[in-house]
């Protein structure tokens, strides 16, 4: 059991290093109103991780998702969430609201 | 109604595939239906809770509440799947033949069943909470009539359950002597896939900063958005553009499970060999009753 003693120290150190997350990341914002993203097309820098904030101005929950990059997050009705994306190679990526996939779509351009 | 049907179908099948694997892996174990039932019922109840508190969970931990919650329950499922696989590898082979005949074996078989029950619960909770949120959205906008929504939902559940049942029956056509290795391989890949999903959530929350770029892109071959791609994602954790962190976690999970199985299997062999040579096994009847209790003792170690 003695080797377990340093464990709490390690965990605390790990958590402390994690809380410094995202200090230098560029931020971008998307709004959702009447099941439409604005802007419809968002340009972000390529090869850099970015922070994306999504504000849901509708009265129903949505799920921000993409099949082209890793993202899956519920945005509560009237709420906002943030997530980290990338670094993405230069290119065009599609995202959508998983609950209204046919009508609520947008494009992410990395360059 | 069609939109409801499609979404409910998709989520039910994603949870159903996992339940199907669990049922195939526990074929012939008495009371497994009850345990799987507990898991599914717990998952349904949890799904309502998670959906109801989605607005409260999201802002926790500086906005990373949702990702941390998802990563935690995914990792819980990974631990349970790992434990089940390792337990079965060291005890399953000796117990399986006596399972149906000897009552004592039933008690020993409950442990891995409890673990798999948790796995079913997690699968249903994750997909179920999405269904609840989606249906709530439909109901709130009033885009479709209540009857249409209910009909769509019910048909979606039926179709999803039907497809999952087909996959389960498909697995059962595998000859009994191979079924164990097939299900344990499936469970290993399932666990690795869930672990990689957990890594993706931690990456999205900003907790993983290293190796977050995509390593390759196989979307030309099989896209994450396609039906087959989604199924492969659920079953073996396929993703067309995996990040380095996901690949590392995926391979590490497989390596750990395989390593533990080898280690436990060798140890178990060593224990049974020691017993054989000391003449501990006296008769067939003695074998049947003694084996499970030794199994239980080893498992608690």
- Total of domains in chain A: 1
Q: What's the rounded mean pLDDT across residues B205-223?
A: 90
Residue B275 pLDDT > 80, yes or no?
no
Gap between the Cα atoms of B200 and B205, Å rounded: 9
Q: Which residue has the tokens 């009552």?
A: B103
Write down the H helix ranges in chain B. Answer: 2-25, 32-52, 54-57, 60-63, 65-87, 93-99, 103-141, 146-172, 176-204, 227-236, 244-278, 284-300
- Contacting residues for B166 by C-beta, under 8 A, at least 6 apart: none
Lowest-pLDDT range of B82-96, B122-136, B227-241:
B82-96
Distance CA B186, CA B142 (A): 41
Is residue A2 assigned to a domain? no
Question: Does residue A94 belong to any structural domain of this protein?
Answer: yes
Gap between the Cα atoms of A33 and A106, Å rounded? 13
CATH number, position A32: 2.60.40.420
pLDDT digits 0-9 by tens, B132-155: 998 888 887 766 677 888 898 999
Q: Which of B86-95, B180-189, B259-268 has the highest mean pLDDT?
A: B180-189
ipTM metric: 0.78
pLDDT on residue B78: 96
Q: Is residue A17 part of a domain?
A: no
Which residue from B49, B63, B205, B43 is spatially nearest to B133, judged by alpha carbons? B49
* B contact set with A (CB within 8 A): 3, 7, 54-55, 58-59, 63, 66-67, 130, 133-134, 136-137, 140-141, 200-201, 203-207, 209, 212-214, 219, 223-225, 229, 239-241, 243, 246
Strand partners, A106: A95
In a domain, A88, yes or no: yes
Range of weakest confidence among A21-25, A88-92, B21-25: A21-25
Supply B110's token pair: 């409950």
- Range of the structural domain that residue A103 is part of: 24-110
- B157 or B298: which carries more pLDDT confidence? B157
Q: Which residues of A are less than 8 Å from B137 in CB distance? A: 60-62, 77, 99
State chain B's mean pLDDT as an integer.
83
* Closest Cβ opposite residue A99 in set B66, B137, B243: B137
Return d(Cα B173, Cα B286) in angstroms, integer: 33
- Is A56 contained in some domain? yes
What is the C-alpha separation between B196 and B258, in angstroms, rounded? Answer: 17
pLDDT of residue B50: 93
Whether the predicted pLDDT of A23 surpasses 70: no
Q: What pLDDT sits at residue B296?
A: 42
pLDDT at residue number B301: 39
Q: According to the model, what pLDDT value does residue A96 have?
A: 95
Per the confidence metrics, is the pTM higher than 0.95? no
Of chain A, the end-to-end C-alpha distance in Å amounts to 53
Residues 6+ apart with CB under 8 A from B285: none
* B48-82: pLDDT as tens digits: 999 999 888 988 888 899 999 999 999 999 999 99
Is A5 a domain residue? no
């Amino acid at each position: 059991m003695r080797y377990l003693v340093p464990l709490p120290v390690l965990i605390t150190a790990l958590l402390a290093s994690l809380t410094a997350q995202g200090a230098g990341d560029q931020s971008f914002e998307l709004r959702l109103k009447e099941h439409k993203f604005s802007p419809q097309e968002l340009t972000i820098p390529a090869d850099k991780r970015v922070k994306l904030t999504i504000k849901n101005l509708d009265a129903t929950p949505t799920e921000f998702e993409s099949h082209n990059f890793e993202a899956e997050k519920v945005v509560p009705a009237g709420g906002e969430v943030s997530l980290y994306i990338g670094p993405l190679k230069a290119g065009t990526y599609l995202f959508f609201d998983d609950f209204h996939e046919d009508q609520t779509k947008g494009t992410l351009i990395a360059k | 109604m069609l939109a409801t049907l499609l979404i409910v179908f998709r989520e039910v099948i994603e949870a159903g595939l996992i339940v199907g694997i669990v049922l195939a892996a526990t074929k012939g174990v008495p009371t497994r239906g009850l345990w799987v039932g507990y898991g599914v019922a717990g998952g349904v109840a949890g799904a309502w809770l998670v959906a109801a508190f989605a607005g409260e969970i999201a802002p926790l931990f500086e906005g990373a509440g949702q990702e941390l919650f998802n990563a935690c329950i995914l990792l819980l499922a990974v631990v349970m799947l790992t434990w089940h696989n390792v337990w079965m590898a060291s005890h399953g082979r000796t117990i399986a033949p006596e399972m149906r005949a000897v009552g004592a074996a039933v008690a020993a078989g409950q442990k891995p069943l409890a673990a798999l029950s948790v796995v079913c619960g997690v699968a249903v909770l994750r997909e179920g909470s999405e269904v609840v949120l989606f249906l709530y959205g439909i109901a709130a906008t009033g885009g479709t009539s209540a009857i249409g929504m209910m009909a769509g939902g019910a048909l979606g559940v039926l179709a999803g359950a039907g497809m999952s049942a087909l996959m389960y029956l498909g697995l059962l056509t595998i000859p009994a002597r191979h079924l164990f290795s097939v299900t344990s391989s499936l469970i290993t890949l399932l666990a690795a896939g869930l672990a990689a999903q957990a890594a993706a959530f931690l990456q999205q929350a900003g907790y993983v900063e290293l190796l977050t770029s995509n390593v390759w892109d196989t979307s030309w071959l099989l896209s994450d958005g396609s039906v087959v791609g989604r199924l492969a994602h659920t079953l073996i954790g396929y993703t067309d553009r995996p990040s380095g962190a996901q690949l590392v976690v995926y391979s590490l999970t497989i390596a750990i499970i395989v390593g533990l199985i080898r280690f436990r299997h060798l140890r178990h062999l060593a224990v049974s060999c020691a017993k054989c040579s000391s003449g501990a096994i006296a008769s067939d009847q003695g074998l049947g009753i003694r084996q499970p209790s030794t199994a239980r003792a080893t498992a608690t170690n």
